[in-house]
């Protein structure tokens, strides 16, 4: 599917249209990942970047790549400590 966006030239901010399209795809993927709509793998595919580039973008925009609840972390730590014993 192709989505067409009309964007005034003044918003290209010193990048060409192709680069702006890449940025829009990345930002869309970041927002969809952050909101839980898609997985990290799907976000990488949508943005057209590898996992390392996507994780770097998450870090740059303060988006947690792993989002555990406190009780989930505690359960995982407990499980791991039992494995080590």
Give the span between the Cα atoms of 85 and 42, in whole angstroms.
37
User: Using one digit for the tens of pLDDT, what is the confidence trace for 13-26?
Assistant: 788 888 989 999 99
In this prediction the pTM is: 0.75
- Can you point out the beta strands (E) in 3-64? none
- The Cα 54–Cα 40 span in angstroms is 8
Three-state secondary structure call for residue 36 = coil
- Sequence-separated (6 or more) residues with CB below 8 Å from residue 13: 20
How large a percentage of the chain has pLDDT more than 90?
Answer: 51
Q: Quick: pLDDT tens for 23-45.
A: 999 999 999 999 999 999 999 99
* Mean pLDDT over each residue of the chain, to the nearest integer: 90
């Amino acid at each position: 599917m192709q989505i067409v966006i009309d964007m005034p030239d003044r918003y290209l901010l010193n990048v060409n249209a192709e680069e702006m399209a890449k940025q829009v795809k990345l930002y869309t993927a970041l927002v969809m990942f952050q909101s839980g709509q898609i997985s990290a793998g799907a976000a990488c595919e949508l943005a057209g970047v590898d996992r390392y580039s996507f994780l770097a973008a998450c870090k740059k925009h303060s988006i947690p790549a792993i989002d555990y609840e406190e009780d989930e972390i505690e359960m995982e730590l407990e499980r791991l400590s039992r494995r080590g014993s």
